[in-house]
Amino acid sequence: MIILGLDPSLSCTGWGIVRAEGSRLTHIANGQIRTDAKAALPDRLAHLDTVLAAVIADHAPIQAAVEEVFVNDNPQSTLKLAHARGVALLACARGGLTVAEYAPRLVKKAIVGTGGAAKEQVQAMLRILLPGAKVAGPDAADALAVAIAHAHHRPRV
């Protein structure tokens, strides 16, 4: 089964795709979608949607996993994150994917074994779980972690 993991953000959305066959994981692709901070919000969201649609079309995942929103101290930042997350959910739905959502702590626990793991610990475990994968950056690493968490928690059919 091919799984798309997403770490939504208005500035840089990470995406990662893995193949899960039983407990075996294989890296397929990953990347980061950056938007122009000077562009209008609707244009940034449209760019995010266009690129996500292309990723879905290119890799044909069956399921998607999206990191849940966390509340920042700054309400404006939380709202921008929610906009990007909404576009990610819509792109997945439009692509015909079933979507699961995971809290950041659950993702960290699935990868490292503890929900309080640092980003560096998650990235170190990704190198073990997906040997040889060239990760595009920290947001792509987070997205791969979300995809792996889904591979471990998805319902088995």
User: Active site residue: 67, 73, 101, 142, which one?
Assistant: 67
Concerning whether 67 is annotated as a catalytic residue, the answer is: yes
Concerning whether 21 is annotated as a catalytic residue, the answer is: no
| Class of residue 58 by CB neighbours under 10 A (exposed 0-12, middle 13-18, buried 19+) | exposed
Q: Are strands 63-67 and 12-21 parallel, antiparallel or unpaired?
A: unpaired
Concerning whether 139 is annotated as a catalytic residue, the answer is: yes
Please, what is the Cα angle at 123 between 103 and 128, to 5 degrees?
A: 110
User: Active site residue: 7, 36, 49, 68, which one?
Assistant: 7
Structure tokens at 57: 């079309």
Cα dihedral angle (13, 60, 111, 156), rounded to 10 degrees?
140
Of 104, 54, 58, 110, the C-alpha closest to 81 is 104
User: Active site residue: 21, 73, 139, 142, which one?
Assistant: 139
Structure tokens at 137: 């950056």
Backbone angles phi, psi at 18, to 5 degrees: -130, 155
Q: Hey, which residues are catalytic here?
A: 7, 67, 139
